[in-house]
Structure formats: C-alpha cells, structure tokens
Amino acid sequence: MSNIVIPDSLKAMTKAYVSEFKLPSSTLLACKAGRCQRREGTKVVEPIQEKGLLYLNVEDDLRKLTFVDRQTKAVVDEKYLFEGDSKFLNLNEPSNQVWGFRFESSGEHVFFWLQEWDVEKQEKPDYEPYKKIFKEYVNGDIPEEYYDDTEMVVEMEGDEVEEIEAEKKNTNIGSSGNQN
C-alpha cells in the first residue's frame, strides 16, 4: 500500500496540466520545471533557461519521470524508474526548488528546478509537498490506483524459461503471480 498522499490543490493543478499538455491519464503529479546542468568538475548545479513541465506517471506498471518542453509540448527526456536504480537526491538547497535524481545503472544524474508560482500570493509556493511526492515516487512507492492489473506475457527461450520455472518453485508462486 502506498504512503503517497497528494493534496487536492496539487491534484487539481496536475489535472489541468494533463488536459493542456495531453499528458497520460496515469499522470500522478505534474509541475512546471526547468532542467539544470552540473558544472563540469564541480558540485555546482546551474539552471538552463527553458520552460518545461516535469511529470510522474505509471505506464505498463513501470514508473516514469518525463520532462516536456512547455512551448513545443515535445518530450525532451524520459527516464524509467526501477526500484533500487533511481534515487531522489537531497540537495543542500533551502528553498526545495532544485532537485536531483541519480540512476545507479548508468551513473547518470539529472537535475530540475521548479518554476511554479502562487498567483494568489504572488510568490513561490511551498515546494516541500512536491518534493515529498517526487521523492517517495522515485524511490519506489506508487499509489495503488495507478497499478495496471492486466497480465503481461513475456516471450523467452531456453535457459531463461527454466530459470523462471525454478524460481517459481523456490518461492511457491503460481502461474497467476499470487503466492500459494
């Protein structure tokens, strides 16, 4: 069961972005953001001057982080988030506006800076709720309503099939994927 609780205000904002940018209906959270780049040979992260949208969704039971250019609405970068591979980086940045993500398998780091603006208060919003949701999601937690219960068929040959059959016997998992 998921621990992710999305405030109603962020749900409404995400719903508006899903409509405006034609995002997948499985989008969990979307927010205005830009990318950052790390200055070579340092730990300094600098913003790239661009307007984008960062969103989280689940596609075929896989978690995904996607960055879209807000002007062209084109996908600029997509990252699948595998448990144990993707990590949310806690940056020493007091506003919580700049985030980092590390991918263990490739050693890649990506950085984003939030560009949301509270129109009513004419100031930056509290970025902590966004950060909490992204951190939980990237590190492996997905709300149950985003799971797809459709069974998938994977075609394999020879030794791979034998390994899976042996694993099923060792863990008492039946063909439906449920424990006996």
Here the CATH number for the domain that contains residue 27 is: 2.30.29.70
Report how many domains make up the chain. Answer: 1
For the chain, what percent of residues have pLDDT higher than 90?
34
Q: Residue 152 falls within a domain, yes or no?
A: no
Residue 176 domain-assigned (yes or no): no
Considering the domain boundaries, does residue 171 fall inside one?
A: no
Whether 89 is covered by a domain: the verdict is yes
Question: How many Cβ atoms are within 10 Å of 77's Cβ, its own excluded?
Answer: 14
Q: Answer yes or no: is 136 within a domain.
A: yes
Confidence band of 3 (pLDDT split at 50, 70, 90):
low
Kindly state whether residue 12 falls inside one of the protein's structural domains. Answer: yes
Mean pLDDT across the chain: 77
- Its domain, for residue 93, covers 8-146
Q: Give the helix ranges, DSSP H, for the chain.
A: 8-21, 128-138, 159-171
Task: Kindly report the number of other CB atoms within 10 A of residue 142's CB atom.
Answer: 20
Which one is predicted more confidently, 129 or 157? Answer: 129
8 A C-beta contact, residue 53 and residue 68 = yes
pLDDT the model gives residue 89: 85
Cα separation, 46 vs 112, whole angstroms: 9
In a domain, 45, yes or no: yes
Whole-number pLDDT of residue 20? 94
Tens digit of each residue's pLDDT (9 = 90 or more) over 31-85: 999 999 988 888 888 899 899 999 999 888 888 999 999 999 999 999 999 888 9
Structural domain contains residue 153? no
